[in-house]
Structure 1
Amino acid sequence: MSAPLLQLDGVGKAFRRYARERHRLMRWFGLPIPTPEERWVLSDISFRVDPGEAIGIAGRNGAGKSTLLKMIAGITRPSAGSIVLSGRVAAILELGMGFSGELTGRQNTFHAAGMMGFNQSEIEGALDDITGFAELGAFFDQPIRTYSSGMQMRLAFAVATAFRPDILIVDEALAVGDAYFQHKSMERIRRFQAKGTSLILVSHDKVALQSLCTRAILLDGGHLVRDGNPESVLDYYNALIAQKKGETITTEELEDGRVRTISGTRQAVIESAVLEDADGKPADTVAIGTTVSLVVKARAVEALPSLVLGYAIKDRLGQTFFGTNTAFTAQVIEAPQAGDTATFRITFPVMLGPGTYSIALALSAGESHLDANYEWRDLALMFDVVNLDKPPFDGKMFMPPVITVER
């Protein structure tokens, strides 16, 4: 195994609150003071980042994500544990790089790149790339205080990625950009990854984490609670943020190594689920364009006000391609009693591209499981889609066109 670019062992961060401000100064000089109040925002964080890895960090607001990135970037020091870093780090934290509002974009570029360790001739050599990527036009020579948050992010990203780093850290920065610049930035990140740059990304954008990252880490209450493939970690995270009193979250490892997350109050449960072909036989491999049926049997464990089944078809990264529920289709089961069962048969044509897909299932009281989540089951079923008789095409959706050509 190669040496990691980044190794964290038992890292923690505490913020201290002193009874008197002079106590902080006295502590610097080693003088005795009353014990300050400590609030630990991170505790016992351990993981490694290898060359070329892309790690997404997820967690609720206040989980410690930004504090963790600041310690990795060297902006603040850990209160406990160790961080060993090899190579050069470029970090875009909290929508900026310490830009001064009174300096122009050009002046801030030289200042920020200089703080990253580059000399004036190196920065001048990269200036055309920075201005071309940021696309700020005449604003490049205007004070940063006249910039929108999106313009600041454009410049910060252009400066941070003008020189390919060994580790690129991005904290929610892309969330404020327009769609065009987001796509442009994602493409640069992917090119860096292909050349061996490791990525640490904090984002609330599930699609970004799943498409860019090979691994995900979940923080909750300052602790590392999950570390694994993005699909299973984000499934657990979704269950965690939706969890209410009386709900439980369980996980089980499948034969292929993926982790299934099941959450809910269990007031209603899924007893069976199967994907059937046109002949009513179980199918784990289906051809593009064929018709299949998802058959789900559910049971009310106790009397309920209503019962709704929802499902979502996802690709191997966990990105949803289609989902709906029986509230949207006006087929709610009203007031089921304890022990009542219902069988749902959902028939649809497979208009997907070749690949492996999964189906998530949910039982709830209405349109959203956030109101009353009886059971949410990720990776309830998995199936493969193959192309047996369709013309070759690219992508994850089969949308056969009618093409006319005039000469």
Structure 2
Amino acid sequence: MSSEISVRVENLSKCYHIYDRPGDRLKQFIVPRLRRHAGSGPRQYFREFWALKDVSLEVKKGETVGIIGRNGSGKSTLLQMICGTLNPTRGQVQTTGRVAALLELGSGFNPEFTGRENIHLNAAILGLSPNEIDASFDDIAAFADIGDFLEQPVKTYSSGMVVRLAFAVQAMINPDILVVDEALAVGDEKFQRKCFARLEELKANGTSILFVSHSAPSIIELCDRALLLDHGTRVIYASPKHAVRAYQKIIYAPPEDHQRLVEEYLTADCVEGTHDGSDATNSDLEPAKLDFATFDPGLVPETTTSYPSQGAEIDSISILDLAGQVVNILLADNIYMFQVTGRFQRDFSDVYFGTHIRSVSGVEISGQRHPADGHYIENVRAGSTFKIVYSFRMSLLPGVYFVGGGIWSANEPNCAHRIIDAMMFRVAASEKQSSFGYVSLATQPPKLEMLCRP
């Protein structure tokens, strides 16, 4: 294997035998042997399930590779075989140097041992000598930052404390290859930032990182390349932006379009020759195939919550462009309108309307109210219908967002009607992005003046 490659995976596959009944497992163990002795043909009592099918990739030294895909796509199976904790059915894995892995919460910890004892145990398993463990112990303990719990059994730890200790052990011993499988999602925001800073430090020192996450921004920000898996098959191995875009388009596609999209990306992956692990950042897929239409029927939230109607009811919440067309793929800086329609079932006084935008994590990013704060619509009659339009300029950064709305009365203890996550939309990525966070406040590119001093 080339000295520049730290991980090479060639045609890796993993097959599991699925038994419908417990007795079938015993039959599979005994009956085929008896049939062979009797000269009869073979018979199997299981179904094959291929968790991974002929996956190939290469990871260079100092490179960070993100692995994305829906639950059950084979991400964890791939990582376990790279780490050597799972044997492949066929294919091979080659790694260079010390491999450290954070696969499952608390895996490798003895719950009866203290944190200190587990540090020594895990470091020894990773190949460190007693002297190396002693030299690294203070750094590990300081990074974990769990205080006096270091001397307590791990079974008394919270999930956050377990992941703190586990990550500290794996990341502070300076591995050649670090594998992280979604474990950081357990930690608090402050600790997650600390972990990402450590990952950047390891990367700068030449550590190769394999990183599984469902967070598209984390994949794009942290990784050099990304591997998209679907039902155990490699779909695309390309730049993070292209892989994430393909992933989002596939997961939000209607069921009847899913396989067609996967086949298109598989074909493009082969045509671009990325099976050898080379980057596909030039034009990994033709832009015309990746550009979203203005409306994606697959963008339907699974978290819609409608409050009980208490005298009013919202019929629909939608986004319109300036031509009056319903859209859910939005472009930065364009003007759109939220349109909310409904009806009142009884008389109300002092009524006001509101709509809001939330992030994937549920953070309320922005909202509008009508009339303005402190003002109300004095009287509304039963049987009245309404259509309220909120105009806005799209200043959100690329990503997926959720829209909800409601009707309230200043004289009522409960809302007349409210819907959370009534619809979702995506802000399409632009080629050049200089802002970060949720909202772009820039009105023009930054200007730099260099003051030269004598």
Q: Does 1:151 align with 2:180?
A: no
When structure 1 is superposed on structure 2, of 214-223 and 108-117 the one drifting more is 108-117
2:329·2:427 contact (CA, 8 Å) conserved in 1?
A: no
Distance change (3 Å), C-alpha of 1:381 and 1:265? closer
CA distance in 1, matches of 2:324, 2:190: 47
What is the deviation of 1:118?
A: 1.7
What is the deviation of 1:140?
A: 0.7
- Summarize the alignment of residues 117-128 of structure 1 with structure 2, pairs less than 5 Å apart: 117-128=127-138
Q: Deviations over 1:269-288 (max 9, x none)?
A: xxxxxxxxxxxxxxxxxxxx
What is the deviation of 1:370?
A: 9.3
Distance change (3 Å), C-alpha of 1:267 and 1:312? closer
Distance change (3 Å), C-alpha of 1:324 and 1:102? farther
CA distance in 2, matches of 1:255, 1:103: 48
CA distance in 2, matches of 1:386, 1:59: 35
Q: Does 1:311 align with 2:311?
A: no
Higher alpha-carbon Rg: 2
SS in 2 for 1:239: helix
Q: Does 1:17 align with 2:18?
A: yes
What is the deviation of 1:31?
A: 10
Structure 1 unaligned segments of length 5 or more: list them: 269-295, 301-305, 314-322, 336-343, 349-357, 393-407
Residue 291 of structure 2 corresponds to which residue in structure 1? 262
Q: Deviations over 1:56-101 (max 9, x none)?
A: 0001111111111000000001111111111111000012332121
What is the deviation of 1:310?
A: 2.7
- Summarize the alignment of residues 22-171 of structure 1 with structure 2, pairs less than 5 Å apart: 22=26, 34-35=43-44, 36-171=46-181
CA distance in 2, matches of 1:92, 1:226: 24
SS in 2 for 1:110: helix
Distance change (3 Å), C-alpha of 1:124 and 1:381? closer
Q: Does 1:326 align with 2:327?
A: no
- Summarize the alignment of residues 365-384 of structure 1 with structure 2, pairs less than 5 Å apart: 378-379=428-429
1:10·1:44 contact (CA, 8 Å) conserved in 2?
A: yes
Q: Deviations over 1:324-352 (max 9, x none)?
A: 9522688xxx99xxxxxxxx99598xxxx
Structure 2 unaligned segments of length 5 or more: list them: 37-41, 273-279, 298-320, 339-354, 356-366, 369-385, 406-419, 435-443
What is the deviation of 1:257?
A: 3.4
Distance change (3 Å), C-alpha of 1:264 and 1:122? same
CA distance in 2, matches of 1:158, 1:139: 14
Distance change (3 Å), C-alpha of 1:7 and 1:142? same
Residue 446 of structure 2 corresponds to which residue in structure 1? 387
- Summarize the alignment of residues 157-236 of structure 1 with structure 2, pairs less than 5 Å apart: 157-236=167-246
Root-mean-square deviation over aligned CA pairs:
4.3
2:226·2:239 contact (CA, 8 Å) conserved in 1?
A: yes
SS in 2 for 1:83: strand
What is the deviation of 1:359?
A: 8.0
Q: Which has the higher strand share?
A: 1
What is the deviation of 1:308?
A: 5.9
2:330·2:428 contact (CA, 8 Å) conserved in 1?
A: no
Residue 8 of structure 1 corresponds to which residue in structure 2? 9
Distance change (3 Å), C-alpha of 1:178 and 1:44? same
1:309·1:326 contact (CA, 8 Å) conserved in 2?
A: no
CA distance in 2, matches of 1:30, 1:166: 49
1:307·1:366 contact (CA, 8 Å) conserved in 2?
A: no
What is the deviation of 1:20?
A: 3.9
CA distance in 2, matches of 1:90, 1:42: 22
SS in 1 for 2:331: strand
Distance change (3 Å), C-alpha of 1:31 and 1:96? farther
CA distance in 1, matches of 2:34, 2:116: 43
Q: Which amino acid aligns with 1:15?
A: Y
Q: Which amino acid aligns with 2:95?
A: L
Q: Which amino acid aligns with 2:66?
A: G
Q: Deviations over 1:228-263 (max 9, x none)?
A: 111111111111111124658578999963654234
Distance change (3 Å), C-alpha of 1:185 and 1:99? same
What is the deviation of 1:204?
A: 1.2
SS in 2 for 1:5: strand
1:53·1:198 contact (CA, 8 Å) conserved in 2?
A: yes
SS in 2 for 1:117: coil
CA distance in 2, matches of 1:134, 1:359: 33
Q: Which has the higher helix share?
A: 2
TM-score, normalization by structure 2: 0.61
Distance change (3 Å), C-alpha of 1:16 and 1:308? closer
1:361·1:380 contact (CA, 8 Å) conserved in 2?
A: no
1:54·1:213 contact (CA, 8 Å) conserved in 2?
A: yes
2:229·2:235 contact (CA, 8 Å) conserved in 1?
A: yes
CA distance in 1, matches of 2:7, 2:404: 46
Q: Deviations over 1:81-124 (max 9, x none)?
A: 11111111100001233212111111111111111112223212
SS in 2 for 1:66: helix
Distance change (3 Å), C-alpha of 1:167 and 1:24? farther
What is the deviation of 1:388?
A: 3.9
Count of residues paired in the alignment = 330
CA distance in 2, matches of 1:31, 1:346: 73
Distance change (3 Å), C-alpha of 1:312 and 1:94? farther
1:52·1:194 contact (CA, 8 Å) conserved in 2?
A: yes
Q: Which amino acid aligns with 2:283?
A: G
CA distance in 2, matches of 1:147, 1:158: 15
